[in-house]
Amino acid sequence: MMTMHETETLLLGADFGTQGVRVAVFDRYGGLLEMSFAAYPTFYPRPGWAEQDPRNWWDAFKQALAECLKGVKSPEKIKGMTICSTSSTVLAVDDGGNPLMRAILWMDNRAVAEAGIINNTGHPRLKYSGGADSVEWMIPKTLWIKNNLKDIYHAARLIVEKQDWINYRLTGRWVSSRCTATCKWNYADIDGGWSDDFMREIGLADYRDKLPVQVVPVGRPVGEIRREAAWELGLPAGITVFQGGIDAHIGLLGLGAVEPGQMGVIMGTSFVHLTLSSGPIFRPGLWGPYPNALVDGLWLLEGGQVSCGSLTRWFKDHLAPDLKYSHPGDEPYRVLAGEAARVPPGSEGLVVLDTWQGNRTPYRDPLATGCMWGLTLSHTRAHLYRAILESVAYGTRNILESFAAANLEINEIIACGGVLNNQLWLQIIADVTGVPIRKAGFGEAGVLGCAVCAAAGLGLYPGLTAAAQSMVEYGETVYPAPDHTRVYSFYFEQYKKTYELLAPQMHLLHTFRRNGGEGVGRK
């Protein structure tokens, strides 16, 4: 690993993502000393469901951390650490913090009815989440557990998120992050914090007994690492654990996207689009505005796509399994990108919807599914793959247009994530949106954002914004090709029209399957 300035103060960051945990050690300037990754599995017990075993998170953390620390000459210089994680990954725990169930992953959409109950209240607290909660979020999932896993809910000491559970394992304290609580739990510090009235109306009057209601802002201390945890993890005693939050949101700090007109986009399994505003912007279809969720005095606005990198992984695994045999030693995604690069923009008449696991923004439709049309016998695997890349780009443009309709123009995207390894895909996104994409100099913004939080928490910088601006560097910028943008504008309109026409059929099919093929379409 590249060694930068090894100073007296080192910073540890851990990003618990969907596929696994990434651990990194940085110096105070944002220089990377060492980084490691360990995977954990996801289980899909039913269509639309997704779960993980919390014990796998901790085991992977220990594995990645041990590997990372091997390359750090002076681990005793680590003074602060922060973790971030996927949000709305929810589990019940007993008095000792032991899981009573597998965690319900963020992308799980089983809580459709509960989200409907919440949103049908029309409660004023919903104005801070664009007028509605998502089926993915913490509160609908907590309500689902209460309604469907009554024994577990009754036995549970708390219902918590991945972030809270890891911090508890580290410090012995049950607290929530102001980032996750504001963005996914209907918390608003400028409006009294928790709303007893809202919780009572949706059926969670007992929330103070079931949620970790003590809220800690991003970059503030959660506590000192427990001696037992430090010994188990091979870390020096006395490290201060500072509060993190949602992986993508902490990644915004790791991108340095803290100026108006900049949008940070985490381009991975899913896409998360984030921007900060000096004032609130209330608009249905956007998530937020979230007050003080990340940085004091600023409002956070969010868009998101559920299925992105997961689509290309599905394609590789199911429609291109031959590549690991026909191209030994070559990365399958690189081969697919090379094939797709020979296909013109628009994939010669193919239109794909990226809503394979529902739509988060702007339709907020958990029942949406994927679609591909325009196929002829002249189309090849390369056409299909490129059309999938284009579909994700159309979804991003749809979100940017929602921001623009709220008079919030985005003139630059700062990006990180696995998609940065696919130059063709980045170019397609720039071409479709018409917006330049600046690559983060360090692609793993989540762990760097964690280091930013720890640096600010230790007082190495006067605040999160100053720390981010000092610790983040940038790479090349990908500029859109105007001729391609014009072609894609036509296909983008077909993309939107396709959803408009097919959404009712998708909902009908969901009802038919939910009822076991009964009671729909009969006369």
What are 90-141's pLDDT values in tens digits? 999 999 999 999 999 998 999 999 999 999 999 999 999 888 898 999 999 9
The two tokens of residue 386 are: 């490129």
pLDDT tens figures, 392-448: 999 999 999 998 888 888 989 999 888 999 999 999 999 999 999 999 899 899 999
Taking only the tens place, the pLDDT of each residue in 42-89 is 999 998 899 999 999 999 999 999 999 999 999 999 999 999 999 999
Does the pLDDT of residue 3 top 80, yes or no? no
In this structure, which topology does domain 305-409+483-514 adopt according to CATH?
Nucleotidyltransferase; domain 5 (3.30.420)
Strands (E), 89-220: 90-93, 103-104, 158-161, 176-177, 215-216
The pLDDT value given to residue 2: 36
pLDDT in tens, 261-281: 889 998 988 898 999 988 888
**Domain layout of the chain by residue ranges:** 10-245, 305-409+483-514
Residues 455-477 have pLDDT tens digits of 999 999 999 999 999 999 999 99
E-strand stretches of 178-261: 215-216, 221-224, 240-242
Contacts 24+ apart (CB under 8 A), 331-337: 333/421, 333/422, 336/312, 336/381, 336/382, 336/385, 337/385, 337/422, 337/423, 337/424, 337/425
Residue 424 sits at the vertex; the CA angle it makes with 420 and 429, to the nearest 5 degrees, is 75
Mean pLDDT of the chain: 93
Among 348, 433, 373, 353, which Cα is nearest to 398's? 433
| Percentage above 70 pLDDT, the chain | 97
pLDDT attached to residue 521? 55
pLDDT at res. 324? 77
User: Looking at domain 10-245, does it have CATH number 1.10.150.530?
Assistant: no
Q: What is the pLDDT of residue 7?
A: 53
Q: Do the domains at 10-245 and 305-409+483-514 have one common CATH topology? A: yes
More confident residue, 260 or 85: 85
pLDDT score, position 330: 66
Q: How confident is the model at residue 4 (pLDDT cuts 50, 70, 90)?
A: very low
Average pLDDT (222-239) is: 97
pLDDT for 1: 36
Average of pLDDT values for 31-35? 97
